[in-house]
Structure 1
Amino acid sequence: MKIAQVVCIFKPYKGGISNVAYDYSSGLAKMGHEITVFTPLYDEKDKEFTSQEFKIVRLKPWLKFGNAAYIPQLFGLLKNFDIINLHYPFFGGAEIVWLLKLLQKNKIKLVINYQMDVLGVGALKYFFKLHTKLIMPRIIKAADKVIISSTDYAQNSDISKLLQNNPDKFVVIPPTVDLQRFFPQTKNQELLDKYNFKADDLILLFVGALDKAHYFKGIDFLLESLNSLGLNNLKLLIVGKGDLKKTYEAKAASLGLQEKVIFCDSPADSDMPKYYNLCEALILPSIDKSEAFGIVLIEAMACAKPVIAANLPGVCSVFEDGVSGFAFKVKNREDLQDKLRKIFSHAEVRTKMGLAAQQRAAELYNQSKQLKNLEQLFLSL
């Protein structure tokens, strides 16, 4: 099949939507399908990322803002594909795909990945709210199938009524983890030395983008929670980059956490398993439902690491609370601190939860299994 992947952001940018689109493209290409990724060209440096498995077409936006871009060129480029797979949200691109589907109707098979609700902050939240009310439902209704990461998230999201009214249109295919890359390993001594970790240090890991588009990751809240936690040998390693990184570094310094919080720019993808295996547990302290899943959770789980995450729809269904990790009340500092103490004060708890996490990752998020489910969905249309 000829399959078009349409996504608002793509590698080398690191983020959930980009990662899902890449995994789909690479996996389907390895199965013998002809894949073309259409994505905006935000920076000329992005062209440095290429693939021998599939084609990447980076289109110069007529207008752009953050991870949104108006690229009407899409209209003339998507007419000869068997499947168009649109990763939503994509402001400025999704509308073009929708228009094409309305005009071509049965000539085009459209599959939408509904990645997340969009809330935003400041004046943007009013635009997003209006778009969600007036435009988004029409885009979703135009699709032949809609992929969701979990029923839990969809039932609590902005597409809940659409799901209720037409459940057969929706298919659960969660994000995946490559179990050949992510598995338990001993701590990498080179990284321990690089970040000056001591033998008795206990490492809490955060992995995620530190830009304005990912304001919802909850780094401010996490730093404030650590400030009065205790646990003197606990260290927080923050892996990620973005335009808010210096702000977070200043925040950590103002709280007197310079010795407890280490910031690290995003390493090469090939090195990420070493970082997961460096920690005792991974944390995802997101503050609103812009966080729909959390791929970092399943990557850590595959490495036999327990996870600690906000009790958000979708996120809390990734792991079993009290079995493979702990969920805490959203933006509740005391509850997060309680869960951190439970994890980091009892090594046997971490070990038991880590093994349960690894088993769950293998059973539910195995990349090869879920990509076969994706292929079968496309072939059925």
Structure 2
Amino acid sequence: MKIVHVCCVAPPEVGGMGLVADKEVAYLRSLSWDAWLIAPETQLDKNQQPEYVVRLPAWRIGNVARLFGLQSLLADADVVHLHYPFYFTAGLIARWRRQNKIKRLVITLHMDATDKGWRRWAADAHRKFLQNRALGSADLLLVSTLDYAQNSSYAVWINDSRLHELPFGVESTDFSPGPSVKTEFDIPAGARVVGTVSSMDRAHPFKGIDILIRALVDLPADVHALLVGEGDRRADYQALAKDLGLSERVHFFGRLEHEKLVRALRSMDVFAFPSTSGAEAFGLAMLEAMSCGVPVAASDLPGVRRVADQAGLLIPPGDQTALSRALNTLLEDENLRAELGQTARAKALLYDWREHAQKLAGLYQKICE
């Protein structure tokens, strides 16, 4: 059975949607499925991308794209799996399904996209006039949590028999508890560390990096921040830290190779996840930190709270003062931190990519019967 995933991004590009699509295809292939991932062309080094990623020339504005030559690559697929939102391309694929030009269509509903200016207007217009027609063409709809689906524009589908909850996963063998190596990240060995892993670009303003930096002002001087991620707003965040007099306490690292990322997570005493809007639906980076036994201070957002529950403290989205208090509570109470860290690890073990892929394969088989 041939499975073709279509996503607006793919490795080495960063982003949760691309990571999910990549993991699903990789694990399906490990289960002997003929699985592929199609994404728009990128200027990044394609030598870093897996062999199963196929790049197509595209007319592209951000993550909105028209892929040229897509239909011919989908014609012989038993299942086309679309990662949504992927504006313009989603409408084409849905139309081809209605015309029976593709055999079966699965759509993963990742999140409600948010933006500013004309892009926000365009996203709102798409949701209002086109989204339900596109989703109605699917044979199967997947969400990472029902909690998020119930509190999003996808709520109208919550009682549809085609909608299934399929949480994402984590590689818990790699992301596991281990020794802290703070000095590797230019942090004094005796410092206490709050950290996060996040995109730092204009497409992800909802990540709350500025809120985390500002929250550090209210924390003791021995508390440092380890911020892992890359993007066109990183310089803005560095300037903010400098303006607040925090340059010596805020440590920026770009995209890290896998093993170093694990070491960075292990070096955090608390993982902060201060996202501000419903564009954040799950929290893959947070789950990786939890798998390393790190307690979290996370925004009380649909979907995110399901993952973070009992693994840390929840805070109102966008509340800098509440974030400072939550971080301070965790940093000052070593016993609480250890207890929540153990719970975080135990909960992360419930999320497994291989099990996710096995369930996904079962759903593919069911709709093809």
Name the TM-score, length of structure 1 as normaliser.
0.93
**Corresponding residue number in structure 1 for 2:153:** 158
Change in CA separation of 1:207 and 1:118 when aligned onto 2, cut-off 3 Å: same
Partner of 1:120: 115
Q: Secondary structure at the residue paired with 1:85?
A: strand
Percent of aligned pairs with the same amino acid: 29
1:4-49 CA deviation, whole Å, 9 max, x = no partner? 0100000001210011011101000000011121100021x34222
Q: Secondary structure of 2:267's match?
A: coil
Partners of 1:217 and 1:120 lie apart in 2 by: 12
1:291-306 map, 5 Å? 291-306=280-295
For residue 238 of structure 1, what is the aligned residue in structure 2?
227
Question: Is the 8 Å Cα contact of residues 74 and 97 (structure 1) preserved in structure 2?
Answer: no
Alignment of 1:163-182 (within 5 A): 163-164=158-159, 166=160, 168-182=161-175
Q: Counterparts of 2:205 and 2:219 in 1: how far apart (Å)? A: 26
Among 308, 320, 331, the alignment partner of 1:333 is 320
* CA-CA distance at 1:72 after TM superposition: 4.0
Contact 2:298–2:308 (CA<8 Å) still a contact in 1? no
Q: 1:18 aligned to 2:18? A: yes
Residue equivalent to 1:370: 356
Amino acid at match of 2:170: V
Counterpart CA distance in 1 for 2:223 and 2:180 is 16
| 1:4 pairs with 2:1 | no
Secondary structure of the corresponding residue to residue 54 of structure 2: strand
User: Which residue is equivalent to 1:318?
Assistant: 307
Structure 2 unaligned blocks of 5 or more:
none
- Partners of 1:270 and 1:143 in 2: CA distance: 38
Q: How does 1:1-381 map to 2 (within 5 A)?
A: 1-43=1-43, 45-52=44-51, 55-61=52-58, 63-104=59-100, 108-164=103-159, 166=160, 168-188=161-181, 192-227=182-217, 229-320=218-309, 323-363=310-350, 365-381=351-367
- Which amino acid is the alignment partner of residue 362 of structure 2? Q
Amino acid at match of 1:30: S
- Mapped to 2, the partners of 1:300 and 1:3 lie a distance apart of 31
Deviation >6 Å, runs of 4+: none
Offset at 1:232? 1.6
Query: 2:323 and 2:152 mapped to 1: Cα distance?
Result: 24
RMSD after superposition? 1.3
User: In structure 2, what is the Cα distance between the partners aligned to 1:116 and 1:233?
Assistant: 37
Q: Indicate if the aligned counterparts of 1:74 and 1:93 stay in contact, CA closer than 8 A.
A: no
Does the 8 Å contact 1:71/1:92 carry over to 2? Answer: no
* Alignment TM-score, normalising by the size of structure 2: 0.96
Count of aligned residue pairs for this structure pair = 367
1:249-306 Cα deviation digits (max 9, x unpaired): 1111111111111110111124321111111111111111000011011111111110
Secondary structure in 1 aligned to 2:87? coil
| CA shift digits 1:320-368 (9 cap, x unpaired) | 2xx31111011112211211111011111110000001111112x1222
Tell me if structure 2 keeps the 8 A contact 1:72–1:93.
no
- d(CA) in 2 for partners of 1:24, 1:178: 12
